[in-house]
Amino acid sequence: MNHFLDIHLTDPSDLRQIIDNAAAMKTARAGRPRGALDDDQPLKDRMVALIFEKPSTRTRVSFDVGVRQMGGQTMVLSGSDMQLGHGETIADTARVLSRYVDLIMIRTFDEAVLTEMAEFASVPVVNGLTDRTHPCQIMADVQTFEEHRGPIKGKKVVWSGDGNNVCASFLHAAGQFGFDLTFTGPPTLDPEREFVDLARSKGVKVEIERDPAKAVAGADLVVTDTWVSMHDAQSAKERRHNQLRPYRVDSALMSRAKSDALFMHCLPAHRDDEVTSEVMDGPNSVIFDEAENRLHAQKAILRWCLQV
């Protein structure tokens, strides 16, 4: 069963296959209408359940469009549609859904929901996001870096801000793709030690540097993410802003990285909070290529899961 639950749980050779396949599918669609079907229809007659306990724009649209481009059909289910884990167990939900659909993508809060779904489903399960990780986003990020700068192996990636779920998947990717990662942010928002240690165990350099100017020196890629979640209380938002303000990515910070360093943000962004508009709209920013590549990377992930 080819579940795609986290980057570190997938063999590096399979990850490379997914990235290469994503790039090939993107090239094959160049210049075609957005709604056009792919010439190859690997998901013809396949049904994919897209479960959203947590709201989404890019994840929902990119998965829905991707399945349709490959000839499949989607069933979009919200948390209110299913009341997941309230009444019927997640295990029983997984067993039932497996009788109806060919693959399940779930975007949820608690990682335990994802792992239980995968344990009891008899069809592949894809992690669309949990509070701990966001692997599909980082697969798109690796694809984006490589289409602009070539192989990511041996490069230096700097994460500035909150060591959140996206940062966690970047650490997983560092170990699997062989690039170094420096985290710069306040001690209270460090990434989980488990993720740091796992990357280091794969032989890559992972550093924590509190001074953002020192951290980005020699960087090939600078990445940040929103400082607050839509679910955070106002008091928590204010505390986070106070802690993270020194780690805002602006032109002065980017100037300390390599001259051709790329900038990424998974979006949605709070302009002029975690990053200035000048950087977001600047020549080194690839944020909209990154957003588009969610579509191509996820199509490749679906094909890998279903082996089609």
Catalytic residues, by residue number, are 107, 134, 137, 225, 266, 294
Rounded distance, CA 175 to CA 7, Å? 9
Burial of 218 (0-12, 13-18, 19+ CB in 10 A): middle
The candidate with the shortest Cα–Cα distance to 76, out of 94, 59, 99, 90, is: 59
Peptide bond into 12 cis (omega under 30): no
The candidate with the shortest Cα–Cα distance to 141, out of 108, 190, 174, 184, is: 174
Long-range contacts of 61-68 (CB under 8 A, 24+ apart): 62/294, 62/295, 62/298, 63/105, 63/128, 63/298, 65/34, 65/295, 66/295, 66/296, 66/298, 66/299, 66/302, 67/43, 67/302, 68/37
Give the tokens for residue 79.
């948390």
DSSP 8-state symbol, 44: T
